[in-house]
Amino acid sequence: MLDPVTLAVIQAGLQQVCDEMDLTFSRAAFSPVIAEADDRSDGIYSADDGSLIAQGSRGLPVFVGVMQFSTRTILERIRTGQTAAPDPGDIYIVNDPYLGGTHLMDVRFAMPVWRNGAIFCWLSNTGHWPDTGGAVPGGFSASAISAEQEGLRLPPVKLFKRGVLDTEIWSIIRSNIRVSEQRIGDVKAQASALLVGAERLTALVDRYGDAAVTACIRAMRSLAARQMRAMIALVPDGTYRAKAFVDSDGVVNRPLEIALSVSKHGDDLTFDFSNSSPPCMGPMNSVRATTLSSVYLAMRHIFPDVPMSAGAFEPLHVTGIEGTFLDAQYPRPVSGCAAEVSQRIAEAVFAAMVQALPDRVTAAPAGTSGNFGLGGHDPVRGSDYVMYQISGGGYGGNSDHDGLSNGCSTIGISKAPPVEIMEQNFPVLYRRYALHEGSGGAGQHRGGFGLDYEIELLRGEARASFVMDHGRTGPLGAQGGKDGAVNRVEVIRNGTVFVPPHLSKAQDIVLTAGDRVRVRTPGGGGYGLPENRDPDLIAEDVRLGRYTAEEARALWNWQG
């Protein structure tokens, strides 16, 4: 019988293993998007079915379910002979979205941990590579109509064999991506994180024994399922409906609809997406693993105290995605699925669940990662570059307080890389970096503010691409609150302002020295009726310049 103290210590030890992997990965990576923005995640997975055992507390939530599915896919392909069986020291690489992934830029490594001649568990991590080939620098094609246009797609193959990098496979990868000479630093960082994890995990198992750790893992899964069901018991029985919209698919300029029905029966929740839009022509399709993980991470936002484990997902059932753009099949393009569509899915979950749990769920957050890719040649350094900028936005207000300003995207903990780091690495100058004033939706508790930044290209020629969202409609308010402000993208070339036809999506925009890009990200939705807001709070926002007096009078009927 496993006593509670030992269970708690081993559970914390497994969490610490994942946290150390995360830290190692970020510290050793070359790319600012990993080293500074922390667009990565590490976890421990079952040797039997690939199910999640533990994940780093500072890893991207959207990878919670995704790496579970990709590890499961690797195990199945090994069993069926489609992928070579592992030896000690082997590390697999895979980025195929249709094999339990997200989009091509999220590259996953997986490595078995051996004990007494058998695989005890798997370690896996994901890192966002700045480029994996394809039509545009950075991989965020806004108008791709097939998977081949998005970049290099890798099934599970051994990149490291018995601890040694396979130079032939690495040569194939290098030949298909931009600035490939820089990727070896990220590859070695990603592999090193797994090796550190294996070392720490082995020490933990040596200390407590294989049987005790195995029993702890079983107990963790069971307890997580019980805790999630206890949380679900707080939801009144019934059906809750909501909709969220993607601006467009980047090719056909009309919205895509996510129609969600959440049903509570007993201690389970069913998420039915069957009335959502069909598969789309452009890259806003979502693969199954990302869709399911988006539901999981939304519930993680609502019930943050439930431990990270596959057991937490057992009471959550996702149905009706077949035949919709939320279950992409090859060769449907998917470059926007993880960064943008996943957040619309989470937004739909929030909009449905706030009806059932108004004291626990917020109005909609900004819900876009603000993907901005810039690639070109720096004539001073004599080298090519690919810059990837992500940005925060406002969070929704809630029953207790206003929303957070310039928070990270719904799907992650990634932060925008520091301006100084970006200016050191790329030929750009940030002319502006401030809050997007006035962007928070009005309500008893207003939404948080988005970000307002402007980048100037200093030298050479470059191509810019955008895959963002909420340019057509702002993040949803809740309980009578108003929607947050929309996302705005402007390209200033030779003094002329250009707004993309799809508002938040465009690719291959040619920039020359002196041209600028300005992005204003969405504010969060407001919560509660605006007329119930404390007038002193309105006056303080006006005093600080967050809203003009005219805006405050129009939004809140302010009399100041």
Among residues 191, 224, 257, which one ends one of the domains?
224
Is the pLDDT at 560 greater than 90? The verdict is no
140 vs 339: CA distance, rounded Å: 10
Q: Is residue 170 scored above 90 in pLDDT? A: yes
Each residue of 117-133: pLDDT tens digit? 999 999 999 999 989 99
pLDDT, one tens digit per residue, over 322-343 is 999 999 999 999 987 778 999 9
What 3-state DSSP class applies to 498? strand
- The confidence score (pLDDT) of residue 163 equals 97
Does 1 score more than 70 pLDDT?
A: no
CB-CB contact of 396 with 354 (8 Å): no
In a domain, 356, yes or no: no
Among 224, 248, 283, residue at a domain's last position: 224
Q: Which of 211, 48, 35, 203 has the alpha carbon at shortest distance from 122?
A: 48
The pair of three-digit structure tokens given for residue 307, joined into one six-digit string: 């431990």
Q: What is the mean pLDDT of residues 242-253?
A: 96
In a domain, residue 329? The reply is no
Q: Which residues pair with 373 in a beta bridge?
A: 388, 465
Written as one letter, the residue type at 449 is F
Place of tokens 């508790």: 445
CA 5, chain centre distance (Å): 34
pLDDT given at position 414: 73
Which residues constitute the domain of residue 193?
4-224
CA-based nearest residue to 2, from 200, 306, 220, 204 = 220
Distance of CA 40 to the CA centre of its chain: 9
Neighbouring-strand partners of residue 388: 373
The answer to whether residue 465 is domain-embedded is yes
CB count, 10 Å around CB of 466?
A: 27
Q: How many domains does the chain have?
A: 2
Which residues, in sequence order, are bridge partners of residue 497? 492
Q: Give the predicted TM-score (pTM) of the model.
A: 0.95
Count of C-beta atoms within a 10 Å radius of residue 430? 14
Residues 168, 177: Cα–Cα separation, whole Å: 15
Judge whether residue 415 has pLDDT over 90: no
pLDDT at 447: 98
412 has a pLDDT exceeding 90: no
pLDDT band at 411; cut points 50, 70, 90: confident
- Report pLDDT for 182: 84
302-326 residue pLDDT tens: 999 998 899 999 999 999 999 999 9
> 447-477 pLDDT, tens per residue?
999 999 999 999 999 999 999 999 999 999 9
- Whether residue 428 is contained in a domain is answered as yes
409 pLDDT more than 90: no
Beta strands in 163-266 (DSSP E): 164-165, 238-246, 256-265
Residue 311 lies in a domain: no
- Which among 224, 257, 286 is the end of a domain? 224
- What are the DSSP E strand ranges found in 351-427? 371-378, 383-389
Judge whether 320 lies within some domain.
no
19 falls within a domain: yes
Specify if 287 maps to a domain: no
Task: Yes or no: say if 398 and 479 are a contact pair by the CB < 8 Å rule.
Answer: no
